[in-house]
Amino acid sequence: MDFSLSAEQAELAAVLRSFLDDRAPESEVRRLMDDERGWDPATWARLASEIGVQGLAIPEAYGGSGFGLIELGVAFEEMGRALLGAPFLSSVGLAAATLLAAGDEDACSEFLPAIASGETVATLALTEESGSWVESAVSTRARRGAAGWTVTGDKTNVLDGHTAGLLLVIARSAVGIGVFAVDADTPGVTRTALPTLDQTRKQARIELRAAPARLIGEDGAGWAAVEHALRVGAVLLAAEQVGGAAAALDMAVQYAKDRHQFGRPIGSFQAIKHKCADMLVQLEAARSAAYYGLWAAASDSAEAPAVASLAKSYCSEAYTFCAGENMQIHGGIGFTWEHPAHLYLKRAKSSETLLGSPAFHRERLATLAGF
């Protein structure tokens, strides 16, 4: 099985890398870390209008370009390399995937074109106080009255929840789990930005008090769509982690060439060589896992649930390893606020627990394997 990129996919990666080198250098990453929004609307709009990243995996019938998850994964890898602060995982990776999986034609026609064009930022509001990503942890309630549906409950650690215009709230009705679209500016919704370890990816707490909502898909049948979106999000996040690990390796290798000690580059020392070699082994294995996950998800393979967990588990630990070794190779300077090495380590540690920790996914793999 060949997981090498096609000429078109390689060109997409090259175009996006050039764009991000110009629009998302380290100085811009740091500026957005201190910005309450956490992303630049002008860059977001240009990514939609000039490259069409937001609509890559959205069908043409809903305003997208009709490519697939592999192309979207290529984009996520480049964004991970650049530490881009933008609501791609929340809006494109999770919310759009949930809408498509719910099978609600009217909702897809209404919401997806605006997501594809970058006009609307959406997010998936799933996790609650327990921080768990499983169905049994959902306690937010949905009720249907004379005026329609309302949802009540608290969601926490919602990606870009303080800036998204469309909230896809996962709530429990009398018959089961449902997906509910909530206008973020509607009465009954209170949003509070949360402090995060990774300041390049913003999160929020959302309090819903009888907030008006629209049911997406069938009442009580929403968890299947959520599970699909979590699998898609996991493999896209794995691809992003590969990009971050690659950037950490490149940074370490360049420093090992430039930094001299005892009259020679530190890269000539065996200990540094071993660290760089170990990073490369972890990175290449992670890239294989991520690309296999993208292929399985894109082809709707029966292996997709297991491969998504495999990719998320392995890529999480590989990224953390590479980011940590990068800091070790840099020595004292790598631990300072002024150096970017710590930004990658914080993104790695935050991403490690996002959408489920490696332990969570290994347990899921064991369950799927029948153990």
Q: For residue range 8-52, what is the model confidence (pLDDT) as tens digits?
A: 999 999 999 999 999 999 999 999 999 999 999 999 999 999 999
- How much is the pLDDT for 78? 98
* Long-range CB contact pairs, 292-298, < 8 A, 24+: 292/3, 293/234, 293/235, 293/238, 293/239, 294/69, 294/70, 294/73, 294/235, 294/236, 294/239, 295/1, 295/3, 295/70, 296/235, 297/69, 297/231, 297/232, 297/235, 298/68, 298/69, 298/70
Asked whether 282 and 245 are in contact (CB, 8 A), the reply is: yes
Report the distance separating Cα 241 and Cα 309, nearest Å.
14
For residue 5, the model assigns a pLDDT of 87
Residue stretches of the chain with pLDDT short of 50: none
Domains of the chain: 7-116 (1.10.540.10), 122-221 (2.40.110.10), 224-368 (1.20.140.10)
b/e burial code for range 16-48 (CB count within 10 A of at least 16 → b): bbebbeeebeeebbbebbeeeebbbeebbeebb
Mean pLDDT for the chain?
Answer: 96
- pLDDT, one tens digit per residue, over 213-250 is 999 999 999 999 999 999 999 999 999 999 999 999 99
Predicted confidence at residue 2, as pLDDT, reads 66
